[in-house]
């Protein structure tokens, strides 16, 4: 057996403790598959006295995680602290600069600084690995970077946040409001006390930026990801979507177009019989379209101690085997500057819900707004109520430019009989 590979873990939260548990539970199997023993030598966390459910006896302990970057008995630093700046960033930079491999589950760090960190890693001939940063236990980064390496990726899309998927699934099944289901998710620890990162789409946007970089061979470009969360999705829209043959999911979509790369995160209406619509609860699902493989689908648990720690250890095993694959599939210096398409240029069909006073002539005014901006209606649903009462009117429109759709909604909102700003949800048909 070769010399043991020595691990230093910065952060002993859910994932850090999960890594130690798996390494201890499956020690013989992991050593056999790695070709060498993998041992944890150093750990760093705030609270030494917290019970983490794993044996930490005999491990060197630092209160200051930064010290892991220069320890002689550490070959790989696991950065499991989180956040795009501060200790996580400085520890990663210093560890790489000191010739140590880094494995991280930190999607924010990679989305904001991945290109620069990959350059440091390559200069020092060490690995920067982050399989656990996207979709937990689903090996989507390896699939894109390795398994699909022979393909030109045309598009990828998916559910990349289990909190949002849990909320939308339960809203659809129970008819309850966003706020009610979010409160339940927080009590079950599926959502953070401050859920903004998840429900406002930022977490998904981080992950999408990373996948788009690997898929299209471009620098990571988080700033160009259009991001919209699920706070405005209502039970009535979920019910009406079902009548129209759709479910509602928060998707991250990256697509290569003639004008550049689209990167967008927002609620989507998806065909009710599509595979992505059947990804429910806290599960994640990603679909990748390649020029020779067509569509490939990946589904599994996107978070939690077991799935995320499993992905971390998969990266450790690759390093133990001596694999030196560029972090984003090609050398960091070869990553192209991305040419991106603004969301205003997006073309697609739309769902629109109006709340209008049911009075003569209202629909003619709405139709005039559509006509003025070259928006073509596909279908209409209207529920009848007593004359003078607000009533939901639902339209779907054919493929339309986003800027034209928004201008249309602004005009419709100014109609006197329209009692609230129109609700718009983009429809994702998955046609090429």
Q: Are 259 and 345 in contact (CB under 8 A)?
A: yes
As a three-state string, the secondary structure of the chain is CEEEEEEEEECCCHHHHHHHHHHHHCHHHHHHHHCEEEEEEEEECCCCCCCCCCCCCCCEEECCHHHHHHCCCCCEEEECCCCCCHHHHHHHHHHHHCCCEEEECCHHHHHHHHHHHHHHHHHCCCCEECHHHCCCCCCHHHHHHHHCCCCCEEEEEEECCHHHHHHHHHHHHHCCCHHHHHHHHHHCCCCCCCCHHHHCCHHHHHHHHHHHHHHHCECCCHHHCEECCCCCCCHHHHHHHHHCCEEEEEEEEEEEECCEEEEEEEEEEEECCCHHHHCCCCEEEEEEEECCCEEEEEEEECCCHHHHHHHHHHHHHHHHCCCCCCCCCCCHHHCECCCECCHHHCEEEEEEEEEEECCCCHHHHHHHHHHHCCCCEEEEEECCCCCCCEEEEEEEEEEEEHHHHHHHHHHHHCCCCECCCCEEEEECCCCC
| Marked catalytic residue, from 89, 207, 249, 255 | 207
Q: Is 6 a residue of the active site?
A: no
Catalytic residues: 207
């Amino acid at each position: 057996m070769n010399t043991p590979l020595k691990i230093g873990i910065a952060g002993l939260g859910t994932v850090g403790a999960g890594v130690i548990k798996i390494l201890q539970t499956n020690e013989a199997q992991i050593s056999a598959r790695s070709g060498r023993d993998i041992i944890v030598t150093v750990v760093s966390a705030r609270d030494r006295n917290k019970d983490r459910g794993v044996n930490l006896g005999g491990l060197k302990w630092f209160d200051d995680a930064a010290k892991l970057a220069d320890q002689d008995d550490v070959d790989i630093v696991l950065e499991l602290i989180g956040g795009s700046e501060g200790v996580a960033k400085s520890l990663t930079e210093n560890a790489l600069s000191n010739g140590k491999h880094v494995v991280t589950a930190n999607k924010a760090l990679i989305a904001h600084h991945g290109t620069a960190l990959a350059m440091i890693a390559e200069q020092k001939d060490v690995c920067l690995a982050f399989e656990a940063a996207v979709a937990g236990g689903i090996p989507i980064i390896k699939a894109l970077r390795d398994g699909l390496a022979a393909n030109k990726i045309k598009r990828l899309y998916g559910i990349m946040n289990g909190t949002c998927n849990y909320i939308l699934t339960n809203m659809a099944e129970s008819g309850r409001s966003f706020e009610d289901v979010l409160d339940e998710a927080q009590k079950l620890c599926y959502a953070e006390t401050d859920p903004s990162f998840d429900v406002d789409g930022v977490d998904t946007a981080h992950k999408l930026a990373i996948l788009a970089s690997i898929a299209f061979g471009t620098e990571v470009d988080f700033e160009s990801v259009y991001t919209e969360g699920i706070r405005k999705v209502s039970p009535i829209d979920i019910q009406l979507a079902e009548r129209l043959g759709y479910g509602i999911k928060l998707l991250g979509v990256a697509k290569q177009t003639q004008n550049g790369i689209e990167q967008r995160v927002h609620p989507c209406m998806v065909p009710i019989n599509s595979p992505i619509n059947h990804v429910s609860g806290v599960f994640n699902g990603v679909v990748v379209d390649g020029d020779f493989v067509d569509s490939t689908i990946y589904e599994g648990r996107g978070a939690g101690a077991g799935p995320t720690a499993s992905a971390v250890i998969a990266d450790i095993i690759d390093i133990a085997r001596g694999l030196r694959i560029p972090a984003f599939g090609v050398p960091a210096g070869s990553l192209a500057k991305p040419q991106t398409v603004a969301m205003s240029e997006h073309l697609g069909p739309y769902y629109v819900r109006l709340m209008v006073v049911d009075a003569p002539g209202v629909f003619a005014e709405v139709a005039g707004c559509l006509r003025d901006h070259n928006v073509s209606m596909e279908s209409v649903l209207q529920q009848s109520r007593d004359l003078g009462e607000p009533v939901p009117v639902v339209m779907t429109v054919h493929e339309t430019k986003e800027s034209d759709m928004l201008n249309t909604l602004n005009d419709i909102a100014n109609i006197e009989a329209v009692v609230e700003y129109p609700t718009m949800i983009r429809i994702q048909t998955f046609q090429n």
